[in-house]
Structure 1
Amino acid sequence: MVEKVWGRETLPPPFKAPDGKRIGEIWFEPPAQLPQLLVKYLFTSEKLSVQVHPGNHNALSGENGKEECWLVLDAEPGASLAIGFDDTHSPDTIEQAARDGSIEDLLTWHEARAGDVFYLPAGTVHAIGPGLSLVEVQQASDTTFRLYDYGRPRELHLERAMAVADLQPYPRRHKGSVAERGEALIDGPRFRLDRIEGKPDARVSSTYKGALFALPLKGEVSDKSGSMRAVAGECLYAPGIDALDFAAAELTLLTCPTG
Structure 2
Amino acid sequence: MSGVLPIRQVEKPWGKDSLPVPFVAPAGQRIGEIWFEPPAQLPDLLVKYIFTSEKLSVQVHPSDAQTLAKGLGRQGKEECWLILAAEPGATLGIGFDRPITAQAMREAALDGSIEALMTWHEISPGDFFYIPANTVHAIGAGVSLIEVQQNSDITYRLYDYGRPRELHLEDGVAVSKGEPYATGRWHKRVAERGSHTLVNGPLFLLDQVQGAPSAAIAARYPGNLLVIPRTGPVEVAGHALAPGSCALADSIGAVRFADNGVCLLAAVCAI
TM-score tier, shorter chain, comes to: over 0.9
Matched, 1:209 2:216: no
| Deviation string, structure 1 residues 97-139 (Cα, Å, up to 9, x no partner) | 0000000011000001100000001001000000000000000
Pairing 1:190-201 to 2, within 5 Å after superposition: 190-201=203-214
Alignment equivalent of 2:62, drawn from 50, 54, 57: 54
Pairing 1:60-139 to 2, within 5 Å after superposition: 60-62=70-72, 64-139=75-150
Matched, 1:188 2:201: yes
Q: TM-score, normalised by structure 2?
A: 0.92
What is the alpha-carbon distance in structure 2 between the residues aligned to residue 131 and residue 49 of structure 1? 14
Q: CA deviation at 1:248?
A: 6.2
Q: CA deviation at 1:203?
A: 1.2
What is the alpha-carbon distance in structure 2 between the residues aligned to residue 85 and residue 182 of structure 1? 32
Alignment equivalent of 1:2, drawn from 10, 31, 55: 10
1:250 counterpart residue number: 261
Aligned pairs, number: 257
Per the alignment, do residues 67 and 102 of structure 1 end up closer, same or farther by CA in structure 2, a change over 3 Å counting?
same
Residues 220 and 248, structure 1, Cα contact 8 Å, conserved in 2: no
Residues 195 and 210, structure 2, Cα contact 8 Å, conserved in 1: no
Residues 44 and 131, structure 1, Cα contact 8 Å, conserved in 2: yes
Q: CA deviation at 1:23?
A: 0.3
Q: Percent identity?
A: 55
**Partner of 1:92: helix, strand, or coil?**
helix
2:189 counterpart residue number: 177
Q: CA deviation at 1:167?
A: 1.1
Read off the aligned partner of 2:109 and give its amino acid letter. Answer: A
Matched, 1:223 2:231: no
What is the alpha-carbon distance in structure 1 between the residues aligned to residue 110 and residue 201 of structure 2? 33
Residues 221 and 249, structure 1, Cα contact 8 Å, conserved in 2: no
What is the alpha-carbon distance in structure 1 between the residues aligned to residue 121 and residue 182 of structure 2? 12
1:145 counterpart residue number: 156
In structure 2, the gaps of 5 or more residues are: 1-8
Residues 229 and 236, structure 1, Cα contact 8 Å, conserved in 2: no
Q: CA deviation at 1:163?
A: 1.1
What is the alpha-carbon distance in structure 1 between the residues aligned to residue 169 and residue 62 of structure 2? 13
CA RMSD of aligned residues (A): 1.5
Moved more, 76-85 or 202-211: 202-211
Q: TM-score, normalised by structure 1?
A: 0.96
Residues 48 and 148, structure 2, Cα contact 8 Å, conserved in 1: yes
What is the alpha-carbon distance in structure 1 between the residues aligned to residue 14 and residue 241 of structure 2? 28
Alignment equivalent of 2:171, drawn from 160, 170, 178: 160
In structure 1, the gaps of 5 or more residues are: none
**Partner of 1:161: helix, strand, or coil?**
helix
